[in-house]
Amino acid sequence: MTVPADHMSTVLAPFVVTLEAYDLGPGPVGVHRGLPSSTVSITIPEEDSLEIAWIRRPGSRQRLRAVVAGLHLDAAELRQERCTRGVYVTLSPLGASTLLGLPASVLAGQVADLADVVPAMADLPERLMACRSWPRRRALVEHCLVSGLFRHGERANHDELRATLAALSEASRVQEAAELLGRSRRHLSSTVRAEFGVTPKEYQRLVRFETARGRLVAAANAGKISLAAVAAASGFADQAHLTREWRAMAACTPTEWLRAEGLAPRCVPADDRPPGKERAGG
């Protein structure tokens, strides 16, 4: 079956969260902090390969031609030399099985080479190198993903799993999500673990973290950030709770991340320490 180019994005919309070009900077080496994520990501450097390591996992550094990462609660460091450009795709948890042919649980908490995960896409990096414009690169990636959709199709329990993720995203507690779905907490837990490789509580942590990240970026773009307001709007108990979660999951504070991304305006506090505590040694 052939899908017209102008319809590809519509067909993929339920499964593809982002599909964009990236550039890690003008220097000879680009470095990026990969934050915890509730999606499955595919990172394809324009040339050569990508070096990736989990920040808090000694000995985890590896070099891959194209990287597939599952849902993860840890931060990673990505380094790309010479040409620092490429293509970045994120899939919803259900998009992994529908487009790649394997449940998201298989990839949870780890990274792997695209060629090993999806042999049918093994030549995609080389084919992307031959494309001379972003529209052509985007069309090629979309074509490969649509081909995966036709090979694998939606799971029989797709609607049930989509409702499960929606309930976990909307509810503040796992028990509340179970009640919304009319299931036992044990059944909910076993389903989420088997399909996505994380616990229901871990998935809720990821959603809350990503909500805060989005609000931080929006506030930074607006030119004024209140960490307390972001914490309250994102479901954290207070600013200190927000900062603790960022330290635990991203290995940095929200302010440190904003600075690294070049997003922190002057009005952002110098650090994320709770009020009344002095900086050590200063």
Q: Give Cβ neighbours of residue 265 (< 8 Å, ≥ 6 apart).
A: 220, 223, 224, 225
Is residue 193 within 8 A of residue 199, CB to CB? The reply is yes
SS3 44: strand
Q: What's the pLDDT score for residue 141?
A: 97
CATH top-level class for 203-260?
Answer: mainly alpha
Provide the CATH topology of domain 5-152.
Jelly Rolls (2.60.120)
Q: What's the pLDDT score for residue 85?
A: 95
Is residue 84 within 8 A of residue 55, CB to CB? The reply is no
Structure tokens at 126: 């080389």
Is residue 43 within 8 A of residue 88, CB to CB? The reply is yes
How does strand 85-91 pair with strand 29-34? unpaired
Quick: pLDDT tens for 223-257.
888 999 999 999 999 999 999 999 999 999 999 99
Q: What's the pLDDT score for residue 265?
A: 63
pLDDT (mean) for 129-134 = 94
Closest CA to 107 of 119, 117, 122, 120: 117
> How do the domains of the chain map onto residue ranges?
5-152, 158-197, 203-260
- Alpha-helix runs per DSSP H in 111-184: 114-117, 124-129, 134-152, 158-170, 174-181
Is residue 250 within 8 A of residue 35, CB to CB? The reply is yes
What number of helices (H) and strands (E) belong to the chain?
Answer: 12, 9
Closest CA to 46 of 17, 64, 22, 30: 22
Q: What's the pLDDT score for residue 167?
A: 98
Quick: pLDDT tens for 65-102.
999 999 999 999 999 999 999 999 999 999 999 999 99
pLDDT grade for 8, boundaries at 50, 70 and 90: low
| pTM for the whole structure | 0.89
- What is the CB-side half-sphere exposure of residue 171 using CA atoms within 13 A? 18
Share of the chain above pLDDT 90, in %: 84
What is the spatial distance between Cα 68 and Cα 89, in angstroms, rounded to a whole number? 9
Structure tokens at 7: 């319809």
Quick: pLDDT tens for 43-70.
999 998 999 999 999 999 999 999 999 9
